Structure 1
Amino acid sequence: MSTRSRHICYFFDYGALSLYSLGSAISYSAYVFPDAWVNSTFHAYYISVAVLNTILSTSLACYSRLGLPFLHYNHDIDERFSERQSPRLSKVLRILAFAYPYLFDNIPLFYRLLLCVGEGCTNNEANSIHIQHTLLAFLTAFLFATHLPERLAPGRFDYIGHSHQLFHVCAIIGTHFQMKAIEADMVLRQTQLLATAPPITFNNTVGSSLVCVCISLGIICLYSLPLLYGSSETHPAKTEEKKCKH
């Protein structure tokens, strides 16, 4: 795979992660919000803000990789892109791009688990599963940010046990517990949510997701265009050079 293709594939990866964050927000809005916050002002604007967060997340993650399209890089990017110029800043921006939507999505869950006292706190069997998911999510972020354990023993974890492997394992297991917790809330709170929660509509589910997909694809195309532009002009030049050498 060429360097340019690799960057474009990562752009799509960032867009998919942003879509996942919106999916979490949609599910949390429907089933996880504590009773005290159902139909609140925050609940009314929660998904709209989550859609904006996906736009910010995709844009910031793509920017952290190459900078601004056409301004900071073009088709010939070998010497100019963010990861080489400022690797630490690039890493911080990428972590921020995905940590912020996650933290926003989980505001109602954090309140429910950590701060809420008394009536309307939704204390049920799903809470313990939510805690498992939350711990694994923070462990995932920790592994991604610290590059442990390979930093402690360079060369010993090149094939098995390095942070990127552990990061994906924790992310998958954490997502499993997240889905189990949402399913538990859906079953345990079904009667109450049908009576009190706002209706689940096309606009706050599929419609929001389609908006996210379309805008994220637009952002990905914008960041990918400089990598593709000029490729047709580069190959003939290389062909002529080869002919001259012969």
Structure 2
Amino acid sequence: MADVLQRLSTLTLSVKHLSRLPPLADLVLPSLPSPSQTVAASQVPSLFREPYVLSGYRPTRQDWRCYLLSLFQRHNESLNVWTHLLAAAVLLFRWWANVGALGYAADAASLPLMLFLLSSFTYLCLSVTAHLLQSHSERAHYFFFFLDYVGVAQYQYGCSLGHYFYSSEPAWRERVGPLFLPGAAFLGWLSCAGCCFAKSRYRRPYPPRRKICQLIPTSLAYLLDISPVAHRLLTVPWTDDPSLLFHTLQVACFLLSALFFSCPIPERFFPGRCDFIGQGHQIFHVFLSLCTVFQLEALFGDYARRRDAVVEVFGEQQLWWACVFFPLLFICCVLTALFTMRHVGKKLQGKQEQGKCS
């Protein structure tokens, strides 16, 4: 009996010692600020501040896991992350649901469709990464948004592949055909380079020429990429082609997304009231996601009707050569982003050294 009581006493002491240890979650995960502990704009460097967004910022210089796990917290980037994350999931689901119905096969005729899906998924995932992790530091901010611009360039060229091989009409190809894909690849790279330059060159408050550096290359790229669709919308009877409804919706959503990307509305009229929900950039993400989903549905329809004639019309060799531009564009854009990042890194290092001297 005495032995049993002694063992119970020892067990009680052990439990007391264990109760003093930190919880298992604190040992495994970093301490995360609660939604109420996000900080005001004045508490983060100017690089991270958005016009008319006064609160909801995540503190900088936290453990990387803090930003990864902030996926499940409320802050002013939450909707920017979740809109594109959900869009990526929708794309994968729609692809899985349509593979059997389309009779998809890994051949030359289906390669542009596959690359369009890959480019869409790439830009969505890189956007999610940028908005989720950019608050860590100024270096991380530049690095992840430069990668975001790489994803946008890939998406632009992925769109051009789908539109050229599945959505274009013979009359349009006679006028633009040979120059279209090389021009789309070049403008995709120029779009990436222009955005990287504008991001690295200008500081807040941003001058109007920053938007010009971003919007002119991307606008030119879009006008070229959408030209086969625009020609088709203007020349083909809508009653004969159900895909035209989805093409119309993708154009409308893109134009609305461009409006909200260019103008800080509605937060401009309600400073501080759109910090968590309702920012123009969040609305831009919603419309761009819808644009991509409608675009995929349109290309599914076009591919289903034209897949048997794609190789006959364009030739297998042209299909493969057109798709070669896809990895080449990716390499050029990554090199451009890394070159710009190197320049930014030197500036940030000089800024740090100057701060130590002062």
Shifted more, 185-194 versus 45-54: the winner is 185-194
- Structure 1 position 194, deviation (Å): 4.4
Name the TM-score, length of structure 1 as normaliser.
Answer: 0.80
2:219 is the alignment partner of 1:99:
yes
Pick aligned residue for 2:249 from 105, 113, 132: 132
Where does residue 21 of structure 1 map in the other structure? 156
CA–CA separation in structure 2 for the residues paired with 1:8 and 1:122? 47
Question: In structure 2, do the counterparts of structure 1 residues 50 and 122 end up closer, same or farther at CA, with 3 Å as the change threshold?
Answer: farther
Where does residue 4 of structure 1 map in the other structure? 139
Question: What SS does the aligned partner of 1:228 have?
Answer: helix
- Structure 1 position 3, deviation (Å): 1.0
The one-letter amino acid of 2:159's match is S
**1:112·1:122 contact (CA, 8 Å) conserved in 2?**
no
The one-letter amino acid of 1:8's match is F
2:192 is the alignment partner of 1:58:
yes
- Structure 1 position 58, deviation (Å): 1.1
Pick aligned residue for 1:203 from 301, 321, 324: 321
CA–CA separation in structure 1 for the residues paired with 2:312 and 2:239? 15
Question: 1:47-94, CA deviations, whole angstroms, 9 ceiling, x for partnerless residues?
Answer: 111111122111111111123xxxxxxxxxxxxxx1337522112221
Question: 1:189-237, CA deviations, whole angstroms, 9 ceiling, x for partnerless residues?
Answer: 33444443343532211x1111101111111111011233487899899
- Structure 1 position 35, deviation (Å): 3.3
Identical columns (%):
23
**1:54·1:101 contact (CA, 8 Å) conserved in 2?**
yes
**1:35·1:122 contact (CA, 8 Å) conserved in 2?**
no
The one-letter amino acid of 1:47's match is L
Question: What SS does the aligned partner of 1:153 have?
Answer: coil
Question: What SS does the aligned partner of 2:326 have?
Answer: helix
Where does residue 171 of structure 2 map in the other structure? 36
Where does residue 49 of structure 1 map in the other structure? 183
Name the TM-score, length of structure 2 as normaliser.
Answer: 0.56
**2:139·2:348 contact (CA, 8 Å) conserved in 1?**
no
> Between Structure 1 and Structure 2, whose CA radius of gyration is higher?
2
RMSD over equivalenced CA pairs, Å: 2.7
CA–CA separation in structure 2 for the residues paired with 1:17 and 1:202? 22
Pick aligned residue for 2:303 from 186, 190, 205: 186
Question: 1:13-34, CA deviations, whole angstroms, 9 ceiling, x for partnerless residues?
Answer: 1111011000111111110112
Question: What SS does the aligned partner of 2:319 have?
Answer: coil
2:281 is the alignment partner of 1:164:
yes
Pick aligned residue for 2:208 from 88, 92, 108: 88
Question: In structure 2, do the counterparts of structure 1 residues 236 and 161 end up closer, same or farther at CA, with 3 Å as the change threshold?
Answer: closer
The one-letter amino acid of 2:305's match is L
CA–CA separation in structure 2 for the residues paired with 1:184 and 1:10? 33
Question: In structure 2, do the counterparts of structure 1 residues 123 and 208 end up closer, same or farther at CA, with 3 Å as the change threshold?
Answer: farther
Q: Which runs of 5+ in 2 are unaligned?
A: 1-135
**1:149·1:163 contact (CA, 8 Å) conserved in 2?**
yes
**2:172·2:231 contact (CA, 8 Å) conserved in 1?**
no
